[in-house]
């Protein structure tokens, strides 16, 4: 468990954060300027808070009350920066070994760095640079890995190249991570816990599935990014059509593509704007996925959209409809209705293992 | 080079020695001051900056006079150094080196400071999170990356030290074989009719030395850029 409770004045900006992160992947989500980077810098020891306490389990990293402030060197925390920060005058190999060579062979293999070892950083692509930075941090045998938007500077294909590596780190190396991002699909794929920061304060924190499927989250993450995250299991293949059937507590969903092997857990994000609501079970519709659901919340925002929280089995879904439709359909909490999800609405970037 | 007599050759060798010693002695201090000015904020930073630049804006004669007052045999600093280390500055080649070092110092600091400002402090933060001590960060990250700036500063300082005139002649005069450098020798020769050939010879030597210094610094800078894999 990583517990963070810090206050820091930065010019006119007041950072005042309290959150607990279990030892898995915790995403810190927020717009630029919300204080995400300052938060991880404080955990790394690069920024000294004015007050508060930071601890990993029993190990206190910072405690203003008892004047404890460990230097970054003493914290054993790996930090992967947005801009990689490889040492430009050293080869990849020397960069990797700079802080240590813990588990070197495995790190190099997991990150696919064998071919790059003799190169200079100037001759690496953006994605390669981030992989080297990740390897360099891991080879110090960190007790916690901080990642400050490691993919933000990369284009979509590069991101797709690195995300599986980070998933492997999470699953195989089991290093706890604090992952800063402003990309919901990244967060949904990687994180187990989500902390949303706005103007230097934590607005919502909790398990990713719960937080992202709450209607209150919509204004924080933006209407386009909002959407529930659910864990499903591969239940079957419709080989002729190239589709995979996924089962979860609320029923079955069919998605295009061949995702994983039978009974493998697959995490999917269903964007709120791609969920259509119907009062009767629809007939003669091209959409493949029709789920019976119960309305749990209706959140009227400032704009023309309305966020509707839905319960499907034990899982939460989130739909976004216009205020006009919500009024015309007379939606109300407790109603039994149908959620229709177009199979192609869930993009590959929304599917993680 | 028949035009150059033994006295001129002595002046050339003395100039080189003075410039080398001045540059080498001033360099570590210049690197440290440049680092402090580029990276640290503390009260009195502007005062330090002003002090460093003073020799650049003061008339060299004034700098020479101040050196004479402070570092002369009876001067407070000069007496102390003589008693502690047994080194005298007044009317010795060491004094010429001191004057050259003081005059070259601001130029060196300026060039090296630019070098420090070009090094991303984020790299030092990254090294700290990787567990490197402050000394290790300094020697493995900061210093190697600032080498082009240090080199530029050293060459600039060397060229300035080689050509220093005003403060040198005020502080240590121009005693042949002791404190007479190329510029003071040229000045002295110009007072004597019929010595144009020697003057031309010394001028040519000056131009060659200056060009050589520039070429060496260019070559080193290119090699550095290649090592960093720059495009």
ipTM for the complex shown: 0.81
Domains of chain A: 2-212 (3.40.50.300), 227-352 (2.40.50.100)
Would you state the pLDDT for residue A197? 92
CA distance B197 to B203: 10
Q: Which residues contact B43 (CB under 8 A, 6 or more apart)?
A: none
H or E element at residue B213: helix B196-227
| Angle (nearest 5°) at CA B37 between B34 and B38 | 80
CA distance A34 to A201: 8
Interfacial residues of B (vs A; Cβ cutoff 8 Å): 120, 122-123, 125-133, 140-141, 144-145, 227-231
State how far residue B115 is from chain A, nearest Cα, in angstroms: 15
**Least CB–CB distance from B229: residue in A79, A100, A123:** A123
- Residue A332: left (phi > 0), alpha (psi -120 to 50), or beta? beta
Among B118, B123, B126, pick the best mutation site for testing chain A contact (most A Cβ within 10 A).
B126
- Joined together, the tokens standing for residue A152 give 């933000």
Closest residue of B to A97, CA-based? B130
Partners of B141 on chain A (C-beta within 8 Å) are 87
CA distance B70 to B80: 10
Partners of A98 on chain B (C-beta within 8 Å) are 127, 130, 132, 140
Closest residue of A to B147, CA-based? A89
Give the rounded distance of the alpha carbon of A44 from its chain centre.
Answer: 20
**Least CB–CB distance from B125: residue in A46, A75, A137:** A46
- Residue B108: left (phi > 0), alpha (psi -120 to 50), or beta? alpha
The reply to whether residue A88 touches residue B132, judged by beta carbons under 8 angstroms, is no
Interfacial residues of A (vs B; Cβ cutoff 8 Å): 44-46, 71-73, 75-79, 81, 83, 85, 87-89, 98-100, 120-123, 136-137, 140
Summarize pLDDT for B181-225 with one digit per residue, the tens.
999 999 999 998 888 899 999 999 999 998 888 888 888 778 777
Summarize pLDDT for A230-289 with one digit per residue, the tens.
889 998 887 778 888 899 999 898 888 877 788 888 888 888 888 999 988 888 777 778
| Angle (nearest 5°) at CA B224 between B23 and B27 | 15
In chain A, helix, strand, coil percent, each to 5?
30, 40, 35
Closest residue of A to B132, CA-based? A73
Domains of chain B: 6-227 (1.10.3720.10)
The reply to whether residue B128 touches residue A73, judged by beta carbons under 8 angstroms, is yes
Per-residue pLDDT for B33 more than 90? yes
Q: Count other C-beta atoms under 10 Å from residue B226's C-beta.
A: 10
State how far residue B218 is from chain A, nearest Cα, in angstroms: 19
> Tokens 């700079």 belong to which residue?
A98
- Residue B173: left (phi > 0), alpha (psi -120 to 50), or beta? left
Q: What is the pTM assigned to this prediction?
A: 0.80
The reply to whether residue A100 touches residue B128, judged by beta carbons under 8 angstroms, is no
pLDDT string in tens for chain A (353-residue length): 899 999 999 989 999 999 998 878 999 998 888 999 999 999 999 999 999 999 998 999 999 999 999 999 999 999 999 999 999 999 999 999 999 999 899 889 888 899 999 999 999 998 899 999 999 999 999 999 999 999 888 888 888 878 888 888 888 877 899 999 988 888 888 888 999 999 999 998 998 888 888 888 888 777 777 888 888 999 888 777 888 889 999 989 888 887 778 888 888 888 888 899 998 888 877 777 899 999 998 888 777 888 899 999 999 899 988 888 888 999 999 999 999 988 777 766 677 76
Q: What sign for the dihedral angle of Cα B185, B202, B207, B225?
A: negative
Per-residue pLDDT for B149 more than 90? no
Would you state the pLDDT for residue B1? 53
Q: Which residues contact A230 (CB under 8 A, 6 or more apart)?
A: A209, A248, A250, A267, A268, A270, A315, A316, A317
| Total beta-carbon pairs less than 8 A apart between chain A and chain B | 64
Query: Would you say A329 and A277 are in contact if contact means Cβ atoms under 8 Å apart?
Result: yes
Would you state the pLDDT for residue A119? 94
Would you state the pLDDT for residue B231? 39
Fill in the DSSP letter of residue A49: -
State how far residue A136 is from chain B, nearest Cα, in angstroms: 8
Q: Compute the average pLDDT of residues B169-179.
A: 90
Partners of B143 on chain A (C-beta within 8 Å) are none
Closest residue of B to A144, CA-based? B129
**Least CB–CB distance from B229: residue in A73, A76, A122:** A122
CA distance A215 to A299: 6
CA distance B13 to B162: 11
């Amino acid at each position: 468990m990583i517990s963070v409770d810090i206050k820091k004045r930065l010019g006119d900006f007041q950072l005042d954060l309290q959150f607990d992160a279990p030892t898995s992947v915790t995403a810190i989500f927020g717009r630029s300027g919300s204080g995400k980077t300052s938060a991880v810098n404080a955990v790394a020891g690069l920024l000294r808070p004015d007050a508060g306490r930071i601890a990993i389990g029993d190990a206190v990293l910072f405690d203003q009350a008892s004047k404890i402030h460990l230097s970054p060197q003493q914290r054993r925390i790996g930090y992967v920066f947005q801009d990689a920060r490889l040492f430009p005058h050293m080869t990849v190999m020397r960069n990797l070994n700079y802080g240590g060579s813990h588990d070197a062979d495995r790190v190099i293999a997991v990150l696919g760095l064998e071919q790059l070892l003799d190169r200079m950083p100037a001759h690496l692509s953006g994605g390669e640079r981030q992989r080297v930075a990740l390897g360099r941090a891991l080879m110090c045998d960190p007790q916690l890995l901080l990642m400050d938007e490691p993919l933000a500077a990369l284009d979509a294909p590069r991101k797709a190249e690195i995300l599986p590596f980070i998933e492997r780190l999470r699953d195989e190396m089991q290093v706890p991570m604090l992952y800063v991002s402003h990309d919901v699909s990244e967060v949904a794929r990687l994180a187990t816990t989500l902390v949303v920061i706005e103007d230097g304060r934590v607005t919502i924190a909790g398990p990713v599935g719960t937080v992202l499927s709450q209607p209150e989250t919509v204004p924080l993450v933006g209407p386009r990014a909002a959407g529930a995250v659910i864990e499903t299991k591969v239940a079957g293949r419709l080989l002729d059509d190239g589709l995979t059937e996924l089962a979860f507590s609320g029923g079955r969903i069919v998605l295009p593509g061949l995702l994983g092997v039978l009974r493998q857990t697959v995490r999917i994000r269903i964007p709120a704007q791609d969920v259509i609501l119907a009062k009767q079970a629809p007939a003669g519709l091209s959409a493949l996925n029709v789920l019976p659901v119960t309305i749990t919340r209706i959140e009227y925002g400032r704009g023309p959209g309305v966020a509707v929280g839905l319960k499907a089995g034990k899982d939460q879904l989130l739909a976004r409809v216009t205020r006009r439709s919500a009024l015309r359909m007379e939606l109300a909490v407790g109603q039994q209705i149908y959620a229709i999800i177009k199979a192609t609405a869930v993009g590959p970037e929304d599917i993680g293992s | 080079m028949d035009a150059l007599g033994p006295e001129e050759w002595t002046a050339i060798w003395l100039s080189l020695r003075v410039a080398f010693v001045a540059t080498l002695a001033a360099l570590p201090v210049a690197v440290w001051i440049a680092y402090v000015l580029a990276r640290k904020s503390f009260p009195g930073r502007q005062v330090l900056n002003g002090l460093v630049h003073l020799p650049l804006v003061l008339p060299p004669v004034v700098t020479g006079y101040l050196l004479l007052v402070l570092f002369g045999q009876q001067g407070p600093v000069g007496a102390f150094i003589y008693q502690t280390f047994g080194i005298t500055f007044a009317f010795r080649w060491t004094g010429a080196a001191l004057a050259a070092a003081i005059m070259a110092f601001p130029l060196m600091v300026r060039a090296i400071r630019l070098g420090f400002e070009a090094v991303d402090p984020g790299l030092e933060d990254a090294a700290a999170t990787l567990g490197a001590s402050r000394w290790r960060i300094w020697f493995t990250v900061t210093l190697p990356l600032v080498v082009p700036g240090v080199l530029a500063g050293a060459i600039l300082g060397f060229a300035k030290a080689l050509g220093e005139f005003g403060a040198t002649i005020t502080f240590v005069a121009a005693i042949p074989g002791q404190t007479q450098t190329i510029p003071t020798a040229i000045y002295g020769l110009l007072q004597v009719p019929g010595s144009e050939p020697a003057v031309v010879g010394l001028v040519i030597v000056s131009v060659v030395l200056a060009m050589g210094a520039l070429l060496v610094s260019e070559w080193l800078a290119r090699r550095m850029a290649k090592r960093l894999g720059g495009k």
